[in-house]
Amino acid sequence: MSAERKPAVDGPRSSESETRADATPPSRSQPLGMTPLPAASDARTENANAEGTAWLGTVLGLAAWTMFFASLAFAVGWYRMREPWPTLPVSLLGLSLTGLLLLVGSAVLHLGLRRRESPWPARGALLLGLGFLALQAMWTHQAWWTEHVRIPEGGVSASAFHGLTALHALHVLVVTFNLFLVCWRHTRGADVRASLRRHVLGWHFVTAMWVLLFVAVYLP
Amino acid sequence: MSLLSLDHKAVARRYLWSGLGFLLLGGLLALAIRWQWAWPGRSVPGLAWALPESHGALTPPTYTAVFTMHGLVMIFFAVTPLLFGALGHFVLPLAIGARGLAFPRLSALGYWVYALGGVLMLASFAVRLGPASAGWTAYPPLSTSAFTPGLGQTLVTVAVLCAGTSAFTYGLNFVVTVARCRAPGMTWGRLPLTVWGLFFASVLNVVFVPVLAAATVLLLMDRLLGTQFFIAGAAAVGGGGDPVVYQHLFWLFGHPEVYILILPAWGMVGDLVAFFSRKPAHGYRLTAGAMGTVSALSGLVYAHHLFTSGMSPLLGRTFMVLTLLISLPAEVMFLNWLMTLWRGSVRLTSPMLAALATMVVFGLGGITGLALGAVATDVPLHGTLWVVGHFHLTMGAASFLGLFAGLYFWFPKMFGRALHEGLAKVHVLSSAVLFLGVFGGQLAAGYAGQLRRLYDPYQYTYLKHLLPLNQWTTVCAFLLGAAQVVFVVNLVWTLRRGRAAEANPWQVGTLEWTCASSPPGEGNFTQVPVVLRGPHALSQPEVLEQLGRDWIGQAEVLPGVAREGAGEEALATVSTVRSVT
């Protein structure tokens, strides 16, 4: 962190910084302190930098948002330490298989990113996402109406089951909707590779958070 | 500029006007609280139109709502948005040589989410049963529908969620902007300390605001859907939840929030003390490192707010040690400021006076906080006005004065007009002295045992003798409010008829003052500068000799050295940039 060391470009720069470069040597006729930069490079570089910036923002944003689910898990952990956590009257295997859809979706998207031109992995993940949401809705419906795991009668465990499942499902819904937009833009001929790459991160995120939800809430 | 503009400067101005509006509202609410403590149950002048049934006097429920809304408005809608939304949005890209923020649309969206929250806050005053009244911390079960059933509490809870969302967006935006959008040559070691402060505070925003979001969402579900996360006691169903969980989550956000509010101010103080002492910042790396250390520790000390919640004594001791540890980097930073001042050519401009005042009130706030960091002294002081005085000195007065230090410093850059320096100095000095009067009075009353949030403290015999002290404190508070008129007059006059600002009125070398016009145009710079040195290159002999002035721009090539040193560096940078592209 030297205050006076040789200037260096630390990693990728913003598109603005790089594309306004100019080969003219430093001149005193410039506004005070201005040192001209190399001339504009091609649009592809600019796009690559913008993509890199968006990628970093997505990674940091999702990583930080993990704290949201970690906080929810902390709250449930507190209650679980307070008293025995009741076993859910919903099939644990069924819940696991539901989560498996997200895991499969993660794998499909990860592999699909290698075949950039094909829209099928994204479309497949879209279906898996909708399937996940439908199954989660089915399990909560069954818990509420058949097994009488209700709010507020069921206390904090029922609140955690329904509340946290719903919060996670909302996140999955957002990610699935974004994937839908990507697929839709792809059908209209847009280049969605960069966008898809970022949205796949969202899918991995909700998959990881489902594992957290499973451990914190669903396991007895 | 259009309300829909994505330019960071336009967004900053939106935050500025909105934040100042909420600062006025929060200040008026504060005066109502102070009036109640000085003349309990007497009509508040000018409030009869709002409270016709009590002829303008605060009733106990109104009083509770007033102090709740004061805290929420000030923290979430005034000070934070002014420091980050206004100054951060404006200064950060300019100071690092970027043409804008990394995500301009996210930045504009963040403002509109904040504005929606502000509308909900204001709307809550108009609904039946009034606004929120569970304290700014919104502790359950008080904040659950069992105790605050009105729509106002719900609206305010959603409003806080909106403010948090906005904070998350600009936090993320700032972090990515600093990481990705710095001008060539702007290494981490050449960032102004203001940028360091904003960067660390943004990291804290991004990491801890989701915790607040989780607590608030669970609370909202308790209020609206009947979940039982925080409900306990007679209102609980099926065993109920635990309100203490909310307290842990809230303070896991709440304590870093203290640093979120003060880190940008620390950064500004570090820069301004160097600029106006005409010296390089003493221990630049240590100061930046100290801010980083404080940020890293800030999430590990939160439970000192819960010493009286019945937590394990072992945990209490652990958090006490961590809390006291965090004062060490803060002291390193403070000593660096003093060393920068030492034997400097100090210029007492309005930003410098505000920076010095920030140091004083923050120092006092920090020292009084030590008593709250240690279990043995926290237990008797915890529920008293001592806590209120302490956190108002750090989060309120220090942030406020730091904010005005920045505002006075960058105002010419923001608007291209120069504020009246004399009026600015009067405003800063009177505010600083009166802050000490108000919050010093609170510390004294708290030390004497006055409990916070009491509607009428003098119902207790042992507190009756504190009435004159509270009345004097209230007089200071009203004078403090009056002192802000000086700022308003100065602001309005300058915007309408103020003289045009000089290109570099403070004679400093940072990019915004040396490479951009005032106010900066679209894209900030005609050409992105190549940075050659740090932000505090002041009073350097070779610069004095060759340029005849004691400062040099961060991207300015020193004549004569151009061929041998700086010019080569600049050209090296140019070739590096080319090789990257």
The CA distance from A220 to A73, in Å, is: 14
* Banded pLDDT at B459 (limits 50, 70, 90): very high
Is some CB atom of chain A closer than 8 A to the CB atom of B31? no
Cβ of A71 within 8 Å of Cβ of B249? The answer is yes
pLDDT attached to residue A3: 38
Q: One digit per residue, pLDDT tens: chain A, 220 residues?
A: 333 333 333 333 333 333 333 333 333 334 444 444 444 455 667 777 889 999 999 999 999 999 999 999 999 999 999 888 999 889 999 999 999 999 999 999 988 877 666 778 888 999 999 999 999 999 999 999 999 999 999 999 999 999 999 999 999 999 999 999 999 998 898 888 888 899 999 999 999 999 999 999 999 8
Architecture of the A62-218 domain = Up-down Bundle (1.20)
The CA distance from B132 to B151, in Å, is: 8
The complex's ipTM?
0.92
pLDDT at residue B200 greater than cutoff 70: yes
Mutate to test the interface with B, among A4, A10, A17 (most CBs of B within 10 A): A17
Mutate to test the interface with A, among B204, B228, B293 (most CBs of A within 10 A): B228
Mutate to test the interface with A, among B528, B564, B568 (most CBs of A within 10 A): B528
Q: How far apart are the first and last CA of chain B?
A: 34
The CA distance from A65 to B270, in Å, is: 31
Domain boundaries, chain A: 62-218
B182 vs chain A: nearest CA distance in angstroms? 7
What part of B 131-190 touches A (C-beta under 8 Å)?
168, 172-173, 175-176, 179-185, 187-190
Token pair for B205: 């925003």
Chain B residue numbers touching A2 (CB-CB < 8 A): 187, 189
Q: For residue range B510-560, list pLDDT tens digits in order.
A: 999 999 999 999 899 999 999 999 999 999 999 999 999 999 999 999 887
Is some CB atom of chain A closer than 8 A to the CB atom of B42? no
Among A206, A23, A69, A167, smallest CA distance to B530 is for A23
Chain B residue numbers touching A66 (CB-CB < 8 A): 210
The CA distance from B359 to B266, in Å, is: 9
Cβ of B214 within 8 Å of Cβ of A67? The answer is yes
pLDDT attached to residue B574: 41
Bridge partners (DSSP) of residue B551 are B538
Cβ of B511 within 8 Å of Cβ of A34? The answer is no
Q: For residue range B348-359, list pLDDT tens digits in order.
A: 999 999 999 999
Is some CB atom of chain B closer than 8 A to the CB atom of A14? yes
pLDDT attached to residue B34: 97
The CA distance from B495 to B411, in Å, is: 10
Q: Bigger pLDDT: B153 or B567?
A: B153
pLDDT at residue B577 greater than cutoff 60: no
What mean pLDDT do residues B70-86 have? 97
pLDDT at residue B573 greater than cutoff 60: no
Cβ of B210 within 8 Å of Cβ of A12? The answer is no
What part of A 145-174 touches B (C-beta under 8 Å)?
151-156, 158-160, 162-163, 167
Angle at B466 between CA B479 and CA B449, to 5 degrees: 115
B333 vs chain A: nearest CA distance in angstroms? 17
- DSSP 8-state assignment for residue A87: P
pLDDT attached to residue B410: 97
B220 alpha-carbon distance from chain centroid: 26
Chain A residue numbers touching B503 (CB-CB < 8 A): 32
Among B180, B406, B193, B199, smallest CA distance to B285 is for B193
Token pair for B284: 């630049």
Cβ of B515 within 8 Å of Cβ of A61? The answer is no
Q: For residue range B22-37, list pLDDT tens digits in order.
A: 999 999 999 999 999 9
* Banded pLDDT at B232 (limits 50, 70, 90): confident
Q: Please name the residues in contact with B200: beta carbons below 8 A apart, sequence gap of 6 or more.
A: B259, B263, B291, B292, B294, B295
pLDDT attached to residue A40: 46
Sign for the pseudo-dihedral over CA of B446, B447, B451, B454: negative
The CA distance from B211 to B308, in Å, is: 22
Chain A residue numbers touching B580 (CB-CB < 8 A): 9, 12-13, 18
Q: Please name the residues in contact with B261: beta carbons below 8 A apart, sequence gap of 6 or more.
A: B75, B79, B80, B83, B201, B395, B399
The chain-wide mean pLDDT, for chain B, equals 93
